[in-house]
Amino acid sequence: MTSLRGHVLDYEFVGSSYKTWRIETTLDLFDIPITRPVKSDCTAIVNNLHNLSRQADVLFIWTDCDREGEAIGGDVVKLCQEVNPHIEVWRAHFSDMQPTAIHRAAQNHGTMDTLQIHAVHTRSELDFRIGAAFTRLQTLKLQRFFSDKGPVISFGSCQFPTLGFVVDRYLQIEKFVPEEFWKIALSYSQNNPSTKTPLITQFTWRRDHLFEKWACFILYEKCVQAKLAKVTKVKSKQASKWKPLPLTTVELQKVGCRMLRMSGTAVMAAAEELYRAGLISYPRTETDQYSDTFDFMPLIERQTFDSSWGQYAALLRDGEFERPRNGKNNDKAHPPIHPVAYNGSLTGNAARVYEFIARRFLGSCWKNAIGMETNVEVEMGGELFDAKGLVILERNYLEVYTYDKWSGNEIPDFQTGQEFIPHSLEMKSGMTTAPNLLTEADLIGLMESNEIGTDATIAEHIQKILDRNYTFKNGQYFTPSTLGISLVMGYDEIGFETSLSKPFLRREVDILLMMVFKEFTYRIPFLHFFLFF
Catalytic residue list: 282
- Helix, strand, coil fractions of the chain, as percent rounded to 5: 45, 20, 35
For residues 265 and 257, give the distance between their C-alpha atoms in angstroms, rounded to a whole number: 10
Query: Which 3 state secondary structure label does DSSP give 276?
Result: helix
For residues 300 and 343, give the distance between their C-alpha atoms in angstroms, rounded to a whole number: 14
**In 206-311, beta strands by DSSP E:** 229-241
For residues 259 and 254, give the distance between their C-alpha atoms in angstroms, rounded to a whole number: 9
Confirm if 162 and 452 have CB atoms less than 8 A apart: yes
For residues 409 and 429, give the distance between their C-alpha atoms in angstroms, rounded to a whole number: 26
Contacts 24+ apart (CB under 8 A), 478-482: 478/166, 478/169, 478/437, 478/438, 478/439, 478/440, 478/443, 479/166, 479/170, 479/437, 480/163, 480/166, 480/167, 480/170
Q: Please name the residues in contact with 65: beta carbons below 8 A apart, sequence gap of 6 or more.
A: 92, 93, 94, 95, 332, 333
For residues 453 and 123, give the distance between their C-alpha atoms in angstroms, rounded to a whole number: 12
Q: How many CB atoms lie within 10 A of CB 461?
A: 23
State phi, psi for 11 to the nearest 5 degrees.
-120, 140
For residues 168 and 160, give the distance between their C-alpha atoms in angstroms, rounded to a whole number: 12
How far does Cα 259 stand from its chain's mean position?
14
Closest CA to 170 of 384, 398, 435, 465: 435
Closest CA to 433 of 120, 160, 99, 209: 209
Helix and strand totals (H; E) in the chain: 16, 13
For residues 458 and 252, give the distance between their C-alpha atoms in angstroms, rounded to a whole number: 12
For residues 304 and 242, give the distance between their C-alpha atoms in angstroms, rounded to a whole number: 24
- Give the strand pairing for 369-380 and 383-394: antiparallel
Contacts 24+ apart (CB under 8 A), 116-120: 116/67, 116/70, 116/71, 116/517, 117/70, 117/71, 117/73, 117/74, 118/516, 118/520, 118/523, 119/67, 119/513, 119/514, 119/516, 119/517, 120/67, 120/68, 120/70, 120/71
- Buried-exposed string 140-151: b where 16+ CB fall within 10 A, e elsewhere: eebeeeeeeeee
Distance linking the first and last C-alpha atoms of the chain: 46
Confirm if 280 and 97 have CB atoms less than 8 A apart: no
